[in-house]
Amino acid sequence: MPSQPRQGMMKISELQVNPEYVTLLPPLPDEDFKNLEESILKDGVLHPFLINPDKVVLDGHHRLTICKRHAINEVPVIERSFNTDLEEIEFVIYFNLNRRQLTLTQKVELGLTFHKIEMIKAGERQKATQLAGRNTDNKPIFKSSVVPNSEPPNEEQGKSIEKAAKKVGLGKDTFWKAKRIAEAAQTDKRAYTAWRDIADGNRSINSVYEELFQQEEPPTSCLPPSRTSPLTLKGVFQVVVIDLPITKLEKLKEIVHCFDEKNCVLWLWISFKFIPDAFELLHHYQFQPQTMLTWIKNKKGSGKWLRNQTELCILATRGKPVANLTYQSTALLATTVKRHSKPDEFYSLVESLFTDSKKLNVSTSTMQRPGWEELGVGTND
């Protein structure tokens, strides 16, 4: 654990930079860097630099670049010390991870670093356990004592993957598959191209994984617990929310029995590339599209041509469902939330329109919202 931090002022020229720490996290987008620069020029350095006892910057590399560019000579610092290098590296990543809006592939790449750290820790624990079975002469107490393995056992590997995935906010299965792809991309041109497609938002992790490793299944210890299956759902639903871009089309077709046969509303989240699939699914369900809701986010994301800042949701109906219409807008203004989730404002809108209807949310993200049942369907990433 880090010791109690010390605070003060320090000259910029005294601060040191570890190039490995600079490359641990992706650089700020140009717009965010410009906003930070304008803030520092207007109000000064509001957030202290975090440094270690050797004056190496742990947090504040972008601020350091700006201060040097504009000849700001003295800045506030907080010094922190750690028991091990691993603790310091974890701090550098985790502290910044919670303050950044990262893409899926950026999270995976950080997760890979976390996984390496967890594996090192596991190896150290294994070595300590084995050394505990030796006497002061370093001779085995039991004849069965063995020399420490070069790698922790498979159980430890599974736990390390689970811990790394959790730290970057990804599911175990998703992270494990992404890890396989990222590792293959280091030596395989086809895997590298596919990894770049994932980064640009043009392909999903699942589709790439299935293409590259069709016969390979994740270790059981890496699979997330399954949620409600269609067979265990009770009754039918008048309101259903589906996140099509992150689910398999054929799997979605199997839940047709979940809809009320007479009067029902479907909210179908889509992205541009999935528009043909969306209308195929509406035809399968026998729903009529009525309008389109657009979620306008507060931050820009990734994108090959234009940077994504919106998501689309088709509102479709079957029969004549009754809604509490009070001039609601087709524009939903809400902040960005974690990947594979939709904002509370969306669910509040649905609930205000259909107060007494039985509601089902089909997604890979667990929301545990009162008044809703949830159904997990296999994802494409």
**Higher pLDDT pick, 221 / 258:** 258
Q: How far is CA 180 from CA 187, 194, 216, 281, 341, in A?
A: 12, 12, 10, 31, 24
Residues 142 and 218 both lie in one domain: yes
Q: Residue range 136-143: average pLDDT?
A: 43
What's the pTM? 0.47
Residues 276 and 197 both lie in one domain: no
pLDDT bracket for residue 191 (50, 70, 90):
confident
Residues 357 and 259 both lie in one domain: yes
Q: Which pLDDT value is given to residue 217?
A: 53
pLDDT digits (tens, 9 = 90+) for 252-283: 888 888 888 789 999 999 888 788 888 988 98
Residues 369 and 264 both lie in one domain: yes
Residues 32 and 84 both lie in one domain: yes
Residues 17 and 137 both lie in one domain: no
Between 56-70, 225-239, 284-298, 305-319, the lowest mean confidence (pLDDT) is in 225-239
Q: Give the CATH number, domain containing residue 61.
A: 3.90.1530.10
User: Which domain does 133 fall in, by range?
Assistant: 104-222
Residues 216 and 267 both lie in one domain: no
Q: Which pLDDT value is given to residue 149?
A: 39
Q: Average pLDDT, whole number, for the chain? A: 80
